[in-house]
Structure 1
Amino acid sequence: MGKEVYGHGQRSGAMSKLKDRILESAWELFREKGYEKVSLRAIAEHAGTTVGNLTYHYPQKEDLLLAMQISTQGEILAIVGSVPDTPEGILEELYVLAEQVEQKMLERAFYFNSLFRLAEDLPSLRDNMERSHELCYAIYEKRFEILRKKGYIREEIPETTLHNLVTALIFCFSSWLAMREKFHSRASSTSIAAVVRDLLFLCFTKKGRDYWEELARKYG
């Protein structure tokens, strides 16, 4: 038989599949052993490829973590989507989002804990994390603005307080995993989704609180 010939599209597809397989192997090994204990060679062997092929797609190990970071951000953005058309839709989105982000963080605890620990020494991770924080501000503040205009957030709460609330939410999620990993106190075992929902509840007017309680009954 003659030598099998691949067209450009087939080569691109094969390379894309290999790149995905390498990243999946990295996810699995990092989860099992920790980021620091896994070598590029181990990842390549797990993915059934060579170190040369791996470094073609991911020149350094931190590039794998950056790819995970971008992938996770994309998944969370897909959950959020565009701003809902109604205030009730926004409230439901925020209610559900708290639980979905908590689940995502629990599923990928090793990744988030590694990210927070390594970001100080890896500029690419730190820069992307800072962009993520700005994105969080944009997502929450746009929705808070609409909820305020529609009478679902208390008028006496200044914009600076809402901005600080977003900061607190980011800090809550960021520190929660570290608390769960290192401590066994009541705080470390608390659902971060429940904490976030209660913080948001305090900002709502009566009709906002009433609808929030409907959502609690709906989702359990």
Structure 2
Amino acid sequence: MGVEVGQAGRRERKKAATRALILRAAQELFLERGFDAVSVREIADRADVSPTTVFAHFPQKEALLFFEEVEQRERLVAAVRDRPAGSSISEALKAHYRAEFVAMWSGPDGALRRRIMALMEATPALQDYASRMWTRHEDALAAAITEELGRPEPSDEIRIYARFALQIQLLVTSADDPMLDAGFRLLDQGWSRYHPGPAGVSSGAGQAQDG
């Protein structure tokens, strides 16, 4: 039993090391020459693996720059599901976004991440992949909120809330950016606070908040 566990551990370490080599090779090549100018075979050659091995770890070339997609989605859902008692969904998401920014930009890889973000913003194929990724995050967030509110399926309000809550993160540039508070304040309190409708009637259709 102990031998089998040890062998499994070695296999996992070897897989992790191979994955790290592929990621480093891909990042180096993409930053040197641009995303579109680099082939998967070139990445494989630099990492000293086969193209088949690259695809075994990353289903498509774009995934080499969005390798944390699943983990990001899991952390997003956990922020809602595991929030402190008495904390609203918006408060939990704000705290999660701030923590993500601190971890992403203030760590030792902050400069590298900024270069990769600039590459993503300049590459249409990566922008398209990111758009699809955020749609997947939106579905996961809406499902988590629906479960938290004890509803059988997401309402229109929940879907709208999930979409715009994620968009807030895309507008914010740092952990202390006032846009973060402003975005959730608008979601929670509605536009009518700033621009009431005729005769003061609010046009809000409801909130996805749980208080």
| In structure 2, C-alpha distance between the alignment counterparts of 1:111 and 1:91, rounded to whole Å | 26
Q: Partner of 2:62 in structure 1? A: 62
2:153 maps to 1:169: no
Query: So what's the TM-score if we normalise by structure 1?
Result: 0.51
| In structure 2, C-alpha distance between the alignment counterparts of 1:40 and 1:26, rounded to whole Å | 8
**Structure 1 portions without partners, runs of 5+:** 1-6, 147-158, 178-188, 205-220
Q: Partner of 1:44 in structure 2? A: 44
2:125 maps to 1:118: yes
Seen in structure 2, the aligned counterparts of structure 1 residues 81 and 191 have a Cα distance that, compared at 3 Å, is: closer
Q: Percent identity?
A: 19
Task: Deviation per CA, 1:109-135: give whole Å up to 9, x if none.
Answer: 53597389326866xx76554221112
2:26 maps to 1:26: yes
> Structure 1: which amino acid aligns with 2:179?
V
Secondary structure at 1:36's aligned position in 2? coil
2:103 maps to 1:95: no
Q: Partner of 1:82 in structure 2? A: 81
Seen in structure 2, the aligned counterparts of structure 1 residues 101 and 33 have a Cα distance that, compared at 3 Å, is: farther
2:172 maps to 1:195: no
**Structure 2 portions without partners, runs of 5+:** 1-5, 190-211
1:135 to 135, 140, 150: 140
> Structure 2: which amino acid aligns with 1:114?
M
Seen in structure 2, the aligned counterparts of structure 1 residues 42 and 58 have a Cα distance that, compared at 3 Å, is: same
CA contact (8 A) 1:105 1:112 kept: no
| In structure 1, C-alpha distance between the alignment counterparts of 2:156 and 2:56, rounded to whole Å | 46
Q: Partner of 1:183 in structure 2? A: none
CA contact (8 A) 2:62 2:126 kept: no
The size of the alignment, in residue pairs, is 170
Secondary structure at 1:198's aligned position in 2? helix
CA contact (8 A) 2:168 2:183 kept: no
Q: Partner of 2:195 in structure 1? A: none
| In structure 1, C-alpha distance between the alignment counterparts of 2:43 and 2:67, rounded to whole Å | 15
Greater share of residues in helix: 1
| In structure 2, C-alpha distance between the alignment counterparts of 1:51 and 1:11, rounded to whole Å | 20
Seen in structure 2, the aligned counterparts of structure 1 residues 43 and 198 have a Cα distance that, compared at 3 Å, is: same
Residue 81 of structure 1: how far off its partner (Å): 6.4
RMSD: 4.5
CA contact (8 A) 1:22 1:43 kept: yes
| In structure 1, C-alpha distance between the alignment counterparts of 2:34 and 2:163, rounded to whole Å | 29
Query: So what's the TM-score if we normalise by structure 2?
Result: 0.52
Residue 18 of structure 1: how far off its partner (Å): 0.9
| In structure 2, C-alpha distance between the alignment counterparts of 1:28 and 1:72, rounded to whole Å | 23
Residue 53 of structure 1: how far off its partner (Å): 3.9
